[in-house]
Amino acid sequence: MRTTFLLTVLLATICCSSAPAAIELAPRGKEPVYLSDVYIFDGIPFVDVDAALAAVSLRGHWNSIKHVFRIKTARGWAEISPASAFLKFRDNYYPIKTKPRFIDGKLRVSEDFLANQLPLLIDRPVYYRNLDPRPTRNVADESTLDRLFSFLLRKKERVAGPMINGVAIDPGHGGLDNGVIASNGLREKDINLQLARRLSKLLKMRFGVPVYLSRDDDYELTEQQRVAPAAREDVDLWLLLHAQASFRAETQGVVLLIRPEDSASPTQEDEQSASLQLAMELAMALGDAEIPVAGIYPTALLALGSGDLPTVQVETGYLSNPQDLNRLQDPAQQELLAQSLYQGVLNYIQKSEETP
Ligand SMILES: [Zn+2]
């Protein structure tokens, strides 16, 4: 069964700009708020965090003891800090390309935060528009803005012989970073690793190719270490394994995430990106095993990099949902999940062999 497409969260393109500048900001579908108090620092627009939050009906305050800015959301507290390249939201840490900074006596957030982090905090897409986009960005800006996630992953030219050369798998989180934690104490980082080991074994056994895990035990990784396996010369596809949680207990199912630029219209069969094709094969294989699939989504929230290496982040289920939780912690069900992902990869490779 072909999964229904829910291509929703396409975020506004991030533009660059130089002073003077202004932006418009609002939850998608609401009247945009005009913010003219825009500071350009290192070529990047920054706006007052209070004004940005007010535009999406959120509020926050500076905690001068912990030196963090705390934001109240409907789903719990979030924290940002000028000292941290991460947004802390409940138990998760989400990378921020450009740290917030104090400019002219106020804490200000970058356009990256507005476009990529605000949607997470309000649990819906955000309309963000830079009213003074200047199309040129110099090399110095590039190095500042994109240092963390500028990695470009290129599909490798395959020579005749084995149908695939190597696979990279990233079991999400690790070490102090638990990821999501279920009410019974089950930790996402452990599920991700267990599944990665099962899938890795299947791929190695049946394809006879190397499988590179970003971590093979419970420890923390730098962003560079997380990406390194996918950047290898012999790697043809990259799977990132995660699980998630929802504040609605009934929300369940596997969610497959791809880069926004990979989400061409599903009606144009020929135009589909390799990542979308891979996600569709994974969804169908999971469906065949009667594992519920909630959809395939383009997302700008995650560290999927750019380029054309077939890349899918598999959110294997919701630890907040009783059925998903049972499925993810049961070894037999974990094995079925790994088998289905393996089958999806196999189908994807076989189909891409057929089409020249
Ligand atoms: Zn995760």
Mean pLDDT of 271-289: 92
The amino acid at 294:
A
State the distance from the centre of ligand 1 to the C-alpha of 173, rounded, in angstroms. 6
State the distance from the centre of ligand 1 to the C-alpha of 103, rounded, in angstroms. 32
**Res 161: pLDDT:** 45
Domain ranges of the chain: 23-145, 152-354
State the distance from the centre of ligand 1 to the C-alpha of 298, rounded, in angstroms. 16
- 173's CB contacts (< 8 A; 6+ apart) are 179, 188, 189, 192, 242
**Res 146: pLDDT:** 42
State the distance from the centre of ligand 1 to the C-alpha of 191, rounded, in angstroms. 10
Smallest CA-to-CA distance from 150 within 258, 257, 307 is with 307
State the distance from the centre of ligand 1 to the C-alpha of 167, rounded, in angstroms. 20
Mean confidence (pLDDT) of the chain:
82
* 150-196: pLDDT as tens digits: 466 766 665 544 478 899 999 999 999 999 999 999 999 999 999 99
Mean pLDDT of 45-54: 92
State the distance from the centre of ligand 1 to the C-alpha of 25, rounded, in angstroms. 28
Task: Answer whether 23-145 and 152-354 agree in fold.
Answer: no
Side-by-side strand order, sheet with 86-89: 59-63, 68-73, 76-80, 86-89, 92-95
CATH class of 23-145: alpha beta
Confidence of residue 41 (pLDDT cuts 50, 70, 90): confident
Backbone angles phi, psi at 86, to 5 degrees: -130, 145
Mean pLDDT of 269-291: 89
State the distance from the centre of ligand 1 to the C-alpha of 94, rounded, in angstroms. 9
Confidence of residue 115 (pLDDT cuts 50, 70, 90): confident
CATH of 152-354, one of 3.40.50.300, 1.10.10.350, 3.40.630.40, 3.20.20.70: 3.40.630.40
**Res 19: pLDDT:** 37
**Res 135: pLDDT:** 38
State the distance from the centre of ligand 1 to the C-alpha of 172, rounded, in angstroms. 5
Determine the length of the chain.
356
Confidence of residue 123 (pLDDT cuts 50, 70, 90): confident
Residue 286 has pLDDT above 80, yes or no: yes
Confidence of residue 22 (pLDDT cuts 50, 70, 90): confident
What percent of the chain has a predicted confidence (pLDDT) above 70? 82
Residue 238 has pLDDT above 70, yes or no: yes
State the distance from the centre of ligand 1 to the C-alpha of 188, rounded, in angstroms. 7
State the distance from the centre of ligand 1 to the C-alpha of 309, rounded, in angstroms. 21
Confidence of residue 272 (pLDDT cuts 50, 70, 90): confident
